[in-house]
Amino acid sequence: MSQLTPAIRVLEHSLMVYRRTWRGSLFTTFLAPVLFLAAMGFGLGTFVDKGNPASLGGVAYLVFLAPGMLASQAMQTASGESMYPVLSAIVWMKTYTAMVATPISTRAIVIGHVLWLTVRLTLVAAVFVLAMVVFGATDVLHGLLMIPVGVLTGLAFATPITAFTATQRTDNAFPAITRFIVTPLFIFSGTFFPISQLPALVQPLAYLTPLWHGVSLARAIALGNVDLGLAAVNLAVLVGFIASGIGLAFVTFSRRLVQ
């Protein structure tokens, strides 16, 4: 067995489950964001574009909004996948408990979960990019480049949340994560309007969140104005969150499952 084999077995488990449950996630992960994009991009966009705001960089609101929505959507999907399903695998259904009784280690479980999220986020981002191409918000080439940005943005949230979930005994804390982290970031991290519109005091806060970096990078690709220095910072922040999240999850999973 190679080092990665046990983690791939964990991924296989998720895929086997997804084969049974994918229908249930159709609306929330595929249809809803596309509808949202249509409503905001075309509906709201019509009004925004009439004002012809310079801060949008001279593009239609739909074109400005769509890359941000892609990153936000990835954040939401990945966060959701790292709360209830992970807690269930530890506390309710005990899937992970069953796994650690086999040659699968806690580290392999963490890596396997990250692999699964990568697959899932790639799917979500690909569907979203397809919608963007259909709506004329981007072209195929730029769209394809945005997919990995969506995946990295999602993982930057998912890995620390996964580490946190492994410390929990109940789902009590999850609504707070959604209410106080995921939703505010969705609104204030540059998805709907440039953060230059935020009060100057609050702006630096946005730079601390992985979502802004994901939005910034995706949008730069979409608008074709990538600044290599900024893009490198964006990537470094995303990768930094992912690496720390995985490191933390190694610790919390081991403490929880092997004691």
Partner 1 sequence: MPNGEAPPLIHARQLTKRFGEFVAVDGIEFDVASGESFGFLGPNGAGKTSTMRMIGCVSPLTSGTLTVLGKDPATEGAAIRARLGVVPQEDSLDMELTVEENLIIYGRYFDLSYSEARSRAKELLDFVQLSERAKDEVEPLSGGMKRRLTIARGLINEPDLMLLDEPTTGLDPQARHLLWDRLYRLKQQGVTLVLTTHYMDEAEQLCDRLVVMDKAKIVAQGSPRQLIDEYATKEVLELRFPPGAQASLDGRLDGLAERIEKLPDRLLLYTSDGDAAAVAVHERGLRPEQVLVRRSTLEDVFLRLTGRALVE
CB of 167 to partner 1, least distance (A): 17
CB of 46 to partner 1, least distance (A): 43
Q: Between residues 6 and 150, which has the closer beta carbon with respect to partner 1?
A: 6
Q: Between residues 219 and 256, which has the closer beta carbon with respect to partner 1?
A: 256
**Packing angle of the helix pair 210-223, 228-257 (nearest 10 deg):** 140
Locate 122 and state its tokens.
């790639």
Buried b (16+ CB within 10 A) or exposed e, 211-247: bbbbbbbbbbbbbeeeeeeebeebbebbeebbeebbe
CB of 113 to partner 1, least distance (A): 15
109 touches 90 (CB < 8 A): no
Positions in the binding site for partner 1 (CB under 8 A): 1, 5-6, 9, 12-13, 16-17, 20-21, 93-95, 97-105, 257-259
Q: Between residues 35 and 98, which has the closer beta carbon with respect to partner 1?
A: 98
In three-state secondary structure terms, 170 is coil
CB of 106 to partner 1, least distance (A): 10
Q: Between residues 5 and 197, which has the closer beta carbon with respect to partner 1?
A: 5
